[in-house]
Amino acid sequence: MTAVIFDCDGTLVDSEPLARTAWERALLPYGYTLTDGDAEACIGLPYPRVHAYFAERAALPAAEPFWAIFSNELFALIDTALVPFDDAIGAARDLRSRGVPVAVASSSPRERLHRTLGRAGLLEAFDVTVAGDEVARGKPAPDMFLLAAERLGVDPASCVVIEDSPPGVQAGRAAGMVTLAVCRVPGTEASLAAADRVVDTVSADAILEAA
């Protein structure tokens, strides 16, 4: 193993419930009520794909103007209710203290990723960060993990990916990287079965063992 690449939302921070609430609030004026199936279908996907998903179901503005509506709701929640996952953050810091390069590769646009890392006190915690709007294809394509490896200056085959969603696991595997999935929702382990290993909590030792 040369480096470790972490997903952000759902892996480093418990932001998925906040995103769901923001989507619910942003969609409601357009007459759409978000369902559990919608939330499951969209987890781990980049904003343009989620917007396209809902634009097929409601008469929404285009992606860019709707981002202002959605992000206004989301950032208010991030600023007041974001909860970090201490296990993953501790693992990232532990690895870095051991001299292992660490990166973040998130489906979130740069604006959201920066806001999230800032609120979690993680802006200086990683050697490299990659946002969803910096690659041509989001997860489950491998582009952002490959870009993270490129920015770190390491061989993708020597990287370990830490993910919590099926699209993220697919992306890590497609990048040719060892992929460790952390199951944040009990009972959903089967959806992460494509990972090399599934764990309940993240630690530096578990990552090293997976490698």
Give me the percent of the chain exceeding a pLDDT of 70.
100
109-125 pLDDT, tens digit per residue, is: 999 999 999 999 999 99
Tokens representing residue 109 in the block: 């646009």
Nearest to 69 by CA among 32, 24, 113, 106: 24
Using pLDDT thresholds of 50, 70 and 90, give the confidence band for residue 211: confident
Of 65, 69, 85, whose CA–CA distance to 16 is shortest? 85
The type of residue at 196 is D
Mean pLDDT of 164-186: 96
Q: What's the CA gap between 6 and 3, in Å, rounded?
A: 10
Residue 127 has pLDDT above 80, yes or no: yes
Catalytic annotation on 36? Answer: no
Residue 61 identity: P
Q: What is the mean pLDDT of residues 2-13?
A: 97
Q: What is the pLDDT of residue 104?
A: 98
Residue 192 has pLDDT above 90, yes or no: yes
CA torsion angle for 92, 94, 98, 104 (degrees, to 10)? 10
Note the pTM of the prediction, 2 decimals.
0.94
Q: What is the per-residue pLDDT across 132-142, written as a single tens digit (0 to 9) for each?
A: 999 999 999 99
Residues 65-92 pLDDT 10s: 999 999 999 999 999 999 999 999 999 9
Whether 44 has a pLDDT exceeding 90, the answer reads: no
Of these residues, 7, 9, 38, 143, which one is catalytic?
7
